[in-house]
Structure 1
Amino acid sequence: MIYHGDEAKQHLFEGIDELANAVSVTLGPATKSVIIDRRDDLPPLVINDGVTVARHISLEDKVKNIGAKLLIEVANKAQQGAGDGTTSSIVIAQALIKECMKFENISGVQIRDTLEYLLQNTLAALDAMKREIEIESDDLYEVALISANNDEGIAKLISSAIKEIGREGIITIEPSPYGKDEYKVTDGYESKKGYISPLISRVMGKKKNFENPLLVFSNTDVNNFSELLPALEISVEEKRPIIFMLKSVTLPVINSYLMNQMNGNINACILQAEDISFWQDERMGDLATLTGGNFFDTGLNMKLENITLDDMGTCGVATVTEDYSTFVDFEKDDKLIEKRLNAIEEDMNLTDNEFYQKKYLDRISRIKGSGAVIYIHGLSEQEIRNKMDRIDDCLNATRAALNNGVVLGSGLALYGASNVMYDSDEITKAFIVALRSVFNKLYYNLTGHTVKPELVLKNLKAGYQYDGRSRDWVISGQIIDPVDVVKSSLKAAVSVASYVMTADCIIGVKDEKMQLL
């Protein structure tokens, strides 16, 4: 199946429109739930998380499904950028593409270039609007509350945990064994690296939790899978998962590991050690000390073939993703940790190099870091999964707000940015419609009808904003969104709109069905 020109764009947009209409009902504080059927007699999922809805959609029409997949990519980009704002990005993309589809005699390249120009201007406007928030302020709770779809319990849980452990603290989320939602403060460490290969995420998923894992740290260049076997055998004997943090591994080693993992022979994961050279070794040594293990240093002729259970570290929960890894709840030796901290401080005092000093300070901060485990209770799998998704979004949003500030919420920051644009050409007019789409959709979800731009702009000018919870205009500043989330949503939407408007040909894959003879 091959489509060209406007016909190709139309097929893409039809798929985009179908997916966006399903996802956009989850936008705002009065979100409607989406019920998703599942195979193999599994109970249906009842959720209101936009990106989860998007990922479960597959259209029968293969060409339309290409458009749907493009929109799913928008949601993924928004989530990777700031961890939240996925539904907003889909709403913006739908509105922008819909308006651009109306153009006649405007080339896709011109549309793309103009959208990029307007995007950069809007990002600058958002930066000018933002304000910083403090960890002790009520703003933290407000950000959490909005991101959690006005679930006060989740908002209080997140804001309280962050306030107690600090902005650099590590938070993980687990199903509750205690019959209630709560958090417990513990020790925590975050490595800025995740899976050692993208291939692993295809098997383990984008995010994987390991409870009570064994931990192995080594700067060995692993060239043969047999080098890992002694440690893996210990893992099997102890009936505990095992995590390797290594300098490097070859592709044959990764393939052997994945084959054994998929066959259920092992429960293991391989991580990329953070940093390079001397600093990489030191960071692995730091984490080994925290977790009660040994760092296998090839410079000291230490070989993984000789590893024992006593050489392995451990923690309560390890969370691994494509981009980072976290470790919480250590059975640590305070004397050994104090000794290592003293050694780092002595090394730091011996150098005047600012780069080195920052490295040492970062290591000290990581070692002293604290963490929290948030335990989530629910009466069903759907309830627990829904709450964990909301908490994950909520956590990402609050961290983004703390790091880079906030702007007006409910889509009104983008609406305000649209008011300073000169709608002198068709592309700018389309962009203005897209900037206003988030608030317009949120308002429609709440009230069932549209809102006049004059009313919105009048209230913004008077210092008011719309509170979806009370369905009224209130004093500005009470409803806020992290600026990073707003910017990430907009960037992802413009990106996919540019793909669609510059597309001039679509090649679909035709299903080959077996014929019965």
Structure 2
Amino acid sequence: MAKLISFDEEARKSLLEGVSKLSRAVKSTLGPRGRNAVLDKGWGAPKVTKDGVTVAQDIDLEDKFENMGVQLVKEAASKTSDVAGDGTTTATVLAEAIYRDGLRYVASGCDPMALSRGVQKAVDAVVAELKKLAKPVKADDRKAIETVASIAGNNDKEVGKILADALMKVGKDGVITVEEGRQVSTEVELVEGMQFERGYLSPHFVTDVDNQVAEFDNCRILIYEEKISSAKQLVPLLEKTSKAGVTLLIIAEDIEGEALATLVVNKMRGILKICAVKAPGYGDRRKAMLEDIAVLTGGKAIFKDLGVKLENVELSDLGVA
């Protein structure tokens, strides 16, 4: 495929044109008084947003050189979002200002590398000053949390109050998950411990027939990354839990075949109080969630890269909840 090549002033001007077009679209959303942008997704209804990085990600220009300028600033905005979680619009505006003024200095004969070092020194000075001006927010300072949350929510005081309520309930080490609801009102639901959307693998594990739920207190929890299909793998652990007289919950990628049949038979005969569920999530997220469950329950997550066989798992490796 043939390549278009551009040099010197022509290339710089094309890049600047792309950067300027992106910045003009994004900076209109800046700050609490920023305006909304309407994006045509090509399917369904248009999307209305005030999020700078969302606007930036939706922009692609027809001119290849101008589009390269767009991609450069997109990268800056995206990294800012990854590191800080916000500030993408500000990053876009600053990137355009630095690039525009930088071109002016380069055109007047300034050494680009010296200019880059100067910009970095200015960045370091500004960051140091911002750290001096910053006011730490304590976990128990409801008013400060509400103010910060309101600003992050486009100066919506109702959003600020809801987030402050949630933070006060879960504390600084708690986790807040925001989900799209089906109602007009916004609700805060406090969940003690941890929950994930997975059910028992067999109805025979049910302990409350009327409500069709399986409930255990102070049960041991096996956290296993891989699929369990052989009963032979499970027998040593089942014997240990039976002798100890404890209930067992198995969380694994899947439990099938004779392994699942063995668990069901032992449960129906009253030999074991047991239940099995599939592990939550997929890929790397599943591994992270299993680690969270292990930390929460005080157990060990048995991952395949650890080289630990299921037959060698001890009761001390299991979590408790």
Interval of TM-score (by shorter of Structure 1 and Structure 2): 0.5 to 0.7
Q: 1:51 aligns with which of 50, 53, 60?
A: 53
Shift of 1:231: 3.7
| Contact 1:243 1:269 (8 Å CA) reproduced | no
User: What residue number does 1:469 align with?
Assistant: none
Work out which of the two has the higher radius of gyration on C-alpha atoms and give 1 or 2.
Answer: 2
Q: 3-state SS of the aligned residue for 2:179?
A: strand
User: What residue number does 2:92 align with?
Assistant: 90
| Alignment of structure 1 residues 73-222 onto 2, 5 Å | 73-103=75-105, 104-135=108-139, 136-187=141-192, 212-213=197-198, 217-218=223-224
User: What residue number does 1:269 align with?
Assistant: 283
Shift of 1:171: 0.6
More strand, by proportion: 1
User: What residue number does 1:407 align with?
Assistant: none
% of aligned pairs identical?
A: 27
| Contact 1:242 1:269 (8 Å CA) reproduced | no
| Contact 2:198 2:279 (8 Å CA) reproduced | yes
User: What residue number does 2:242 align with?
Assistant: none
* Inter-partner Cα distance in structure 2 for 1:58 and 1:20: 13
Distance 1:294 1:128, change over 3 A: closer
1:17 aligns with 2:20: yes
Shift of 1:269: 3.3
Q: Which runs of 5+ in 1 are unaligned?
A: 190-209, 221-229, 235-239, 245-267, 275-280, 304-312, 314-332, 338-517
| Contact 1:211 1:241 (8 Å CA) reproduced | no
| Alignment of structure 1 residues 22-421 onto 2, 5 Å | 22-40=25-43, 42-103=44-105, 104-135=108-139, 136-187=141-192, 212-213=197-198, 217-218=223-224, 231-232=253-254, 242-243=279-280, 268-271=282-285, 273=287, 285-287=294-296, 289=297, 295-296=301-302, 301-302=309-310, 336-337=320-321
Bigger RCO of structures 1 and 2 (CA < 8 A, at least 6 apart): 1
User: What residue number does 1:427 align with?
Assistant: none
Letter in 2 for 1:95: A
Letter in 2 for 1:5: D
Q: If the length of structure 2 is used for normalisation, what is the TM-score? A: 0.66
Distance 1:102 1:157, change over 3 A: same
Shift of 1:37: 0.8
Q: 3-state SS of the aligned residue for 1:3?
A: coil
* Inter-partner Cα distance in structure 2 for 1:242 and 1:286: 15
Shift of 1:211: 6.1
Distance 1:282 1:213, change over 3 A: closer
Shift of 1:181: 0.3
Shift of 1:294: 8.4
| Contact 2:15 2:68 (8 Å CA) reproduced | yes
| Contact 1:50 1:87 (8 Å CA) reproduced | yes
* Inter-partner Cα distance in structure 1 for 2:17 and 2:23: 10
Letter in 1 for 2:129: A
1:193-213 Cα shifts (integer Å, max 9, x gaps) = xxxxxxxxxxxxxxxxx9604
Q: 3-state SS of the aligned residue for 1:89?
A: helix
1:404-428 Cα shifts (integer Å, max 9, x gaps) = xxxxxxxxxxxxxxxxxxxxxxxxx
Shift of 1:131: 2.2
- Number of positions where the alignment pairs a residue of Structure 1 with one of Structure 2: 244
* Inter-partner Cα distance in structure 2 for 1:106 and 1:130: 35
1:273-306 Cα shifts (integer Å, max 9, x gaps) = 56xxxxxx9876334x38xx98447776307xxx
User: What residue number does 1:2 align with?
Assistant: 5
Letter in 1 for 2:31: G
Q: 3-state SS of the aligned residue for 2:34?
A: coil
The RMSD of aligned alpha carbons is 3.6
* Inter-partner Cα distance in structure 2 for 1:145 and 1:66: 35
* Inter-partner Cα distance in structure 2 for 1:45 and 1:111: 40
Distance 1:142 1:284, change over 3 A: closer
Letter in 2 for 1:114: G
Q: 3-state SS of the aligned residue for 2:188?
A: strand
| Contact 1:170 1:188 (8 Å CA) reproduced | no
| Contact 2:225 2:253 (8 Å CA) reproduced | no
| Contact 1:212 1:241 (8 Å CA) reproduced | no
Q: 3-state SS of the aligned residue for 2:191?
A: strand
| Contact 1:216 1:243 (8 Å CA) reproduced | no
Letter in 1 for 2:147: E
| Contact 2:16 2:69 (8 Å CA) reproduced | yes
Q: 3-state SS of the aligned residue for 1:46?
A: strand
Distance 1:299 1:114, change over 3 A: closer
1:460-513 Cα shifts (integer Å, max 9, x gaps) = xxxxxxxxxxxxxxxxxxxxxxxxxxxxxxxxxxxxxxxxxxxxxxxxxxxxxx
